[in-house]
Structure 1
Amino acid sequence: MLDDLLQQVRACRLCEENLPLGANPVIQASESAKLLIIGQAPGTRVHETSIPWNDPSGNRLREWLELDKETFYDSNQVAIMPMGLCYPGKGKSGDLPPRKECAPKWHQAVLEQLPNVGMTLLIGQYAQNYYLSDKPKTLTETVQQWQRWAPNYLPLPHPSPRNTLWLKKNPWFEAEVVPFIRDYVHQHLRS
């Protein structure tokens, strides 16, 4: 059933006329996945390769999780579903926000097929705004209050190199949150 759904997702052309590089929905999932990563939207490199988090942001994310590429890209362990499944295009300061059609169209159906997910990483404000109710106004405050939602949901800043300054200003994130995620992910993926 999930395989059929993933075929439908990957064939989606709902907003293709608004996508500068055309539609190429990128998703990774399996019914046995124990970790779900919900990010923003694929960048150009991910669009070109159809491999999620196949860029410098993905390198930092895998470093935070202490996962090698083999484990990270094993859909039996890690599911990856962005808020916008296709590359949205370039904006004034980085990529455009994820398309708004994707999450309402596909997320719930996919989530229903992922019964073993114990932790969902919500990367960036778009995922956090969609999945966390009654959250603070800023990303920093939301991430600071991560324990409110852990371990089911964990709000994270985007691991983009553009956020290096944020990480330097907020050393508590890599000192407190990253170790919790690593421990939980490694224990959960082993079980």
Structure 2
Amino acid sequence: MRTLRELVTFISGSPQFRIQESLATNAPRYVYYGQSDLMDDLMSMRSIQVDSKEVRTKDEVHTLSYGNVVFSLITGQATIVRRAHDGYLYTQNYIKLLPTSTIDAGFLVYLLNEDKSIRKQFFIGLQGSQVLKYTLQQLKEIRIEELPPLDKQQQIGELYLKQLHLTALKNRVAELEKIVCLANLAEAGRR
């Protein structure tokens, strides 16, 4: 059994309170990566657009790239960054995880989000806490069972992410059907 620190390099996000906003028009502009972005990436679809917070700064900040694995210290969820969020600034509420060649990114997301043993370890680590927030140290110490072969990991990770996307699509269809039905009922009530 290994710990996650043996399989992953961790890069903490930029402390938001230390970022000095610049009024200079030549200062780079960044969009903050938030929880709705993480959920969009996890479901592989865009939710109803939420106004994303932006900042112009000349400070050196941490950004995400397409294909990165990111973990939320707030919700304990992981995802793979999609192209739509390439270059987004991530704060101290998120950790970028760079897997070694022995673990597939999609499989890592599956493990962190769904594995019962890992969920139990997280739960035990949160007991007694006033604020339910995960820590980098807690993440590093997660114990991982023996990994399947890389090709099996890739299959599991790909199937997991496709299933999340399919579920999100079905939920969206159901929501749209409900809207149409309610509009039809309202129209019938006016006749």
TM-score clears 0.5: no
| Structure (1 or 2) with the larger CA radius of gyration | 2
TM-score (norm 1): 0.27
Higher strand fraction (1 or 2): 2
